[in-house]
A and B are shown apart, each in its own frame.
Chain A
Amino acid sequence: MTQPRTLYEKIWDAHVVERRSDGTCLIFIDRHLVHEVTSPQAFAGLRATGRTVRRPDLTLAVPDHNVPTTARLDAAGNKLPITDPESAAQLAALETNAPDFGIRYIDAVAPEQGIVHVVGPEQGFSLPGATIVCGDSHTACHGGIGALAFGIGTSEVEHVLATQTLLLQPAKTMEVRVEGEVGPGVSAKDIILHITGTIGAAGGTGHVIEYTGSAIRALSIEGRLTISNMAIEGGARAGLIAPDETTFAYLKGRPYAPKGADWDAAVAYWKSLATDPGSTYDKVVVIDAADIAPSVTWGTSPEDVVPITGVVPDPASFADPSKQTAAAKSLAYMGLEPGMRMQDVSVENIFIGSCTNSRIEDMRAAAAVIKGRKKAANVKWAIVVPGSGLVKRQAEAEGLDRIFIEAGLEWREPGCSACLAMNPDKVPAGERCASTSNRNFVGRQGPGARTHLVSPAMAAAAAVTGKLTDVRELML
């Protein structure tokens, strides 16, 4: 009888090209997603060494980080120029590199364009059981459909382009099991914020986290992508959720997904990937879903999480001296005092978007809270950035854009936007933003910007009250 294996171990074993004596393996990469920021130096490297792309058919490029979220076409349908010359140069480089190396390319004005981690699953390019890489740490996202997906540096981008493989050490395995039912107003984002607060920003370092349990199984694919997206915020390069009927129903019929008899064979294979009974993980964390409240961050690390009903912690309350120092620095940067109620913190900016929370379900959750209400007077800037052109169109078909616009929020074109502020969407220095993105790092949303990570419903609640708000109070 074969040894019981975890989902991670099955995917890993199925991709070993060569195993070295020290345990390092040459791993085959099934899908390579490319964007404009971390690829130009890799393509330059290929040119310098006269190399080609080994499997252009497995490589998909889409611009997302730099693209403006304002209109990209004029009334006559002509492309509007990108005003920032550096962003324009990076976008132009991808537009040239993709056809030069024969790889698939979705243009910035194509209807399918969007954030690479929204586009991959949406197009059925990302599949369960596949190894997926991208020069972006939020590649972990695709683990939500059961792919072993992780971020890589630019040298590795070049390595994958040239060889369709990576040299990797096997990771340790970690199970995060969330059992039970979450309460009203608690979304996938709150679950992953709670997990990150529980395990810490380095809790999953060296591990691949498999999210299991009834609360995870109950999530839609959108919710699962949100969870796995932030595996990296807990230190794990990849997250995984076993593919099931929810996954198959989501993928069936998508453009790049298998069709006909191929589909049936694929589903049979995907069903075989679930972790075997009797398998063991190197680390196990169990969380009771009933303990999870709508959550919010107070500091500059994604582990700095409290329930919205909580208060800003006292740095002295942390046992670890280096965490005490870090917390004190965070509070100084964030302009917060220990003991302040999170619900008393006012916000001037709202960002609903990013690869964490820009899918149709996120748009619906935010719109449900906004509907019939108005943006608070103290909120100066509130933008809603759908994750892709397809999400945007779907939301518009459902009338969600009107709900946002009538409440005083801006409805934008798809892209990474204010999650990392590489395009013109930035939070001004010293101002606060209730943001559905994934990182509250110093300067992440612009130099001096103060980020509070929240769910789409919580961001919407903050937009209408002008302060961090328990969304459950608006759901009565």
Chain B
Amino acid sequence: MTPLEKVAGRAIPLGLKNVDTDVIIPAHWLKTTSREGMGRGAFESLRADPDNLFDRPEYKGAPILIAGDNFGCGSSREHAAWALGDLGIRVVIAPSYSDIFSGNAVKNGILPVVLPQAAIDRLMEVAATDPIHVDLDTQTVTTPFQDRFTFEIDPFRKMCLLEGLDEISLTEKSGAAIDAYEKTLDAERPWMRPAV
């Protein structure tokens, strides 16, 4: 996973609420055994409109996406995070996310920034004309107009993003604890093993 510390650039002012992962990447794009190339199907239904935001020259390759409440709701498909990543998006800014999406995003080096609606409204305004800066280390979003918004993030997620950590390797260090848990489980609830 590519580490993430500072991201600066244009931000796509999508702004919609309840953007579900079927909208981010429709199911027919899920028929693949690879993680690559998902950007082609990203936001397909929105991009059917020739005047859509994503394909405007000023937002091509924009590293930031601004959205409304409950971004990434619905299906657990990690393909949504892969699709955003393939579009070049490294940061999403929204008032709230679905729990599954925000986890998937972090595991793919995408930072889900949570800011209140008022801040989102201001950033949407700025995004129409100017770039936005996001600094994970200082947990701030700033604009060329002296706007400065700070955001909260779970410290573990922050560390994973900053260092580009592979969570499986991290968990494997707890191998002995998992062994011990399994032993206790077998002793206390042996019937938890499938009967056949």
Contacts and interface: CB of A to CB of B under 8 A. Distances in A.
A167 B167 contact: yes
B104 A155 contact: yes
A111 to B, nearest CB: 16
A422 B30 contact: yes
Interface stretch (B56-64, B73-81, B138-146): B73-81
Contacts of B107: 153, 155-156
Interface string A123-138: 0110100100001110
A365 interface: no
A151 B77 CA distance: 9
A416 to B, nearest CB: 10
Nearest to A41: B35
Contacts, number: 203
Q: How large is the interface on B (under 10, 10 to 19, 20 to 34, 35 or more residues)?
A: 35 or more
A232 B20 CA distance: 12
Contacts of A329: 16
A170 interface: no
A266 interface: yes
> Size class of A's contact patch?
35 or more
A26 B107 CA distance: 16
A159 interface: yes
Contacts of B162: none
B20 A441 contact: yes
B162 to A, nearest CB: 15
Contact of A159 (B22, B23, B171): B171
Interface stretch (A215-223, A320-328, A459-467): A320-328
Interface stretch (A85-93, A174-182, A288-296, A395-403): A85-93
B118 interface: no
A153 B103 contact: yes
Interface of A: 17-18, 20, 22, 24, 26, 28, 30, 37-38, 40-41, 44, 49, 51, 54, 57-58, 65-66, 84, 86-87, 89-90, 93, 124-125, 127, 130, 135-137, 139, 150-156, 158-159, 162-165, 167, 169, 171, 201-202, 205-206, 232, 235, 237, 255-259, 262-263, 265-266, 269, 301, 303, 322-323, 325-326, 329, 420-422, 439, 441-444, 447
